[in-house]
Amino acid sequence: MKIVLILFLLPIIIGCANIQQSKNDIPLNYSEYKERLEIPKIKNFHLSGKIFLYVKEKGLSGRMRWVSMNGHDAVEIYDPFNSIIAKVSLTESPRKISFESPSHSKETKNVIKHIFGSSDNVFILKKFLLSPPEELTKNQNVSISFDGWTIRFSGIQDNIRKTPKMVEYTKGNISLKIFINDLKI
């Protein structure tokens, strides 16, 4: 019965995950963003949030936990029932990535691997999660175009450090939304 409910709700959730640049977004190109950005040397952080990932007609939702300690990152993705879907390990220097997806369908693995199986994608994802544009405010969203990706930042958490409430990445038929619950640095 739970599976039927999930299969019924999944298309509805995924339909909400598609991005359209809002008329209220401030559009930035990457060079403008990079010019004004002082990239902090954040070596350690813990991020948790909800994710919605959509590739072509396949999609999933769940939660994510990302822990970074001294250049080594561990990303864990969970389904709505709190079962682990995938583990991704990253090393900054030299750039290396390993991907593990225990006991889930081939389709689920392929959907996750589109984003988290490529070191370029994951390191870009990390950079934008930790360094939102200065133009981002509680009422002003920002969209950045970079290497075929559109990265959209929405809202700000009530933290000491500027942290977006939501970051959405889209490229072609791939869409990833991350709703950040907690970011500790």
Model pLDDT, residue 39: 59
Burial bucket for residue 96 (CB in 10 Å: 0-12, 13-18, 19+): exposed
Q: Tell me, what CATH number does 39's domain have? A: 2.50.20
Record the tokens describing residue 130, joined without a space. Answer: 């930790």
Model pLDDT, residue 108: 76
Model pLDDT, residue 104: 65
End-to-end Cα spacing for the chain: 41
Average pLDDT, the chain: 81
Residue carrying the six token digits 């290497």: 147
Model pLDDT, residue 40: 59
Domain that holds residue 104: 2-184
Instruction: Determine contact, residues 150/21, Cβ cutoff 8 Å.
Output: yes
Model pLDDT, residue 55: 84
Instruction: Determine contact, residues 179/168, Cβ cutoff 8 Å.
Output: no
Residue 43's alpha-carbon distances to 12, 47, 91, 115, 124, in angstroms, are 37, 13, 11, 22, 15
What residues in the chain have per-residue pLDDT under 70? 1-23, 37-41, 103-104, 159
SS3 9: helix
Model pLDDT, residue 110: 77
Domain count, the chain: 1
Model pLDDT, residue 20: 45
Compute the distance between CA of residue 87 and CA of residue 102 in angstroms, rounded to an integer: 8
Compute the distance between CA of residue 139 and CA of residue 181 in angstroms, rounded to an integer: 18
Model pLDDT, residue 65: 96
